[in-house]
Amino acid sequence: MDFLQNLSDFHWVCLIIAVTLLLWDSIEVGRNDAANLVNAVFGARVMPRRTAIFIAGLAVIAGAVLSSSVIDTARKGIFDPMGLGSLNAALAIYISVYIVDTVLLYGYSAFGMPVSTTACLVFELLGAALAIQSETVHWNKMGIVVAGIFCSIALSGTAAFIIQRAARGAIRDRTSQLPTMLLHGGWLGGGLAAALCYFLMLKGMKHVSWIKQFKAYLANLGGEENAGIATALLLILLWAGFAILIHILLVIYRKKAAKLLFPVLAVLGMIAMAFAFGQNDLANCASPGLSAIALLRAQDLEIGTKVDIPSWMLLGCGILLFIGMTTKNAERVTKAAVATGSMGDHVALWAPRWCVNVAEKLLRFRGKEPALAPRAKITSAGKTVHYDALRACVIMSVSACVIATASSLSLPVSTTYVAFAAVVATGLADRIFQRGDAELKLGRAIWVVTSWVLSAIIAAAATFMVAKMVHNLATTGIVTCLVANFIVRRFLRGRADAQERRVREEADERLHPERFALESEDE
C-alpha cells in the first residue's frame, strides 16, 4: 500500500471512484445477466427462482476466478493504453466507462430488458478511446470481437433450433413417459451431457493445470496432424458413455429416472452456463476498475497493463455478481425474458406499437402447421410453466457450450445475445408463435434486438462525451457526470415502474376481458 502516499488529489479521486464503481458495476452486471442464467430453469419451474439463483451464483463465483484471459482482452484489447501518452488519459477512459455503464445497465434492467453487458463494455471503451486518442483504437481487434458476437448469435440460434426440432420430433410431450425415454433419452441426454462436459472442461477450463496436462496427453497420443480425429473420437466416447449411463439409470429407477432426466440436465446446463458466464462476463464489470487500480499502483502505463489480476480480486467480483443476481431488477429481467419465449398463450409483456405491427406482418407468412410445444400448465401455486424441461435443457446446454468456447478464445461474447438466441430459436422450433399472444411475443423479441443496437450507439456516444469531460475537467468533470448519472437513474426508475404497472393491467385485461368490460359498464 506504499503507492497511496504518492497519489495526487486527482489520482485519489480516481482510486475512490474506481473502487466504488467496480463494486457498483459488478452488481449491475449481475442484475441484468441473471435472466440469462436461470430463465430456462425458472421458466420450466424445475426449481424456485431463489434456489436457481443460489446454485447459479456459486457457479458464477467459481468461473470468475478463472477469467483473467478474457479480462486481458477487455482491458487492453480494444485500445492501446501505451499510445495514450499519460496515466491520466488512461484513467479517464476507465472511469468514464463505469459512469456510463452503471446507468445504462440499470436503465435496461429496470425496464426488464436483457442488454448485452459485453457489447456495452466494448462500445464504451471504443467511445472513450475515440474521445481521448482515436489512434489508439485496435480496429482489428474490435472487428474480431464484434464478429465473434455475431457468430456466437448465429451459432447459438442455429444449434438450438436444430437440436430442439430433432428432440421435439422424437419425444413430443412425452418427456416423463418411460418407454419414450428408454428409446430416446440415452442418445439425446447423452449428447447434451457430452457437449457440456467437453466444451466446459476442455474449452472453458483450458487454463487449469490438469486440463492442460490432459490436452497435452491427447496431443501426444494422436499427434498434431490427428488432433481433429482425436477430438471427434473423444466426443463420441463421451456421448456413448453418458448414453449408456443414462440408459442404465432408466432401467434401474424406471419412471422416477424418466421424470427427472431432463430437469436434471437443465440444472446441469444452468450450472455450466453460470460457470462460463463467470469466466466471460466478469470482464464486463471488473476490467475497467481493476485496470485503473493496477495503473495507480504501478504509476506506469507499461507496467500497469501487464500486472496480473490477483485471484482474490476476481473472487470478490464474482461474489458481487451473485449479489446483483438476487435484486428486484434481476427478477424483472428474468420474468420478461421467460415470457418472450413462453409457450403459454397469454404473457405480461410490453413492446412498442411499431414492433407489434412488424410482428403481425411477419406472422402472415407462417404456415398453418400446429404448434409442437405442449400446452402450458399451471402449477399448484398458480404459476405458468413457460417451458417444458426438454426445451429448458436444450437452451441451457447450447448457451453454455457457445460461451465456454468463446472464453477459451479469450473473446468477450455476449451471454445475453447467446441465451436470447437460444430461447427464440427453440421457440421457433416448437412453433410457439402459432397461438396466443404471438404478435406481442415476437414484437417484444424485435424490440429487444432493436434495443441492443441502440445500446451500442448510446454506449459509444455517451462515453465519448463523458470521457471528454473527465479528461478536460478532471475532478469537476467526474463529479458533474456522477450527478447526471443519479438524475438519469431516478428518471428511468419512475418510468420503468409505471410501465410495469401498465403491463400487468393490460395482461389481466387480455386474460379476463369480461371483468374489465363489467368495470367499464359500472363507470
pLDDT at 297 over 90: no
Name the residue with cell 400446452: 375
The rounded mean pLDDT for the chain is 83
Percent above pLDDT 90 for the chain: 31
**What are the C-alpha distances in Å from 467 to residues 11, 18, 377?**
16, 14, 51
Please, what's the b/e burial string for 497-512 (b: 16 or more CB within 10 A of its CB; e: otherwise)?
A: eeebeebeeebeeeee
Nearest Cα neighbor of 273 from 59, 425, 130, 82 is: 59
The DSSP-derived string for 25-85 is HHHHHHHHHHHHHHHHHHHTTSS-HHHHHHHHHHHHHHHHTT-HHHHHHHHHTSB-GGGG-
Residue 523 in this model has a pLDDT that exceeds 50: no
- What digits encode the pLDDT tens for the residues 415-425? 888 888 999 99
Q: What is the pLDDT of residues 336-382, one digit of tens each?
A: 888 888 888 888 888 899 999 999 999 998 888 888 888 888 887 77
By residue count, the chain amounts to 523
Q: What is the pLDDT of residue 75?
A: 59
Residue 516 reports pLDDT greater than 70:
no
Rounded to two decimals, what is the model's pTM? 0.86
Cβ-based neighbours of 194, under 8 Å, separated by 6 or more: 235, 238, 239, 241, 242
C-alpha cell at 97: 466507462
Residue 519: pLDDT band (50, 70, 90) is very low
Taking only the tens place, the pLDDT of each residue in 3-44 is: 677 788 888 998 899 889 888 888 888 877 766 788 888 888
Q: How many helices (H) and strands (E) does the chain have?
A: 19, 0
pLDDT band at 212 (very low <50, low <70, confident <90, very high): low
Provide the 8-state DSSP code for 137.
B
| Residue bearing the bigger pLDDT, 86 or 408 | 86
- Please write the tens of the pLDDT for every residue from 55-73: 988 888 888 776 655 565 5
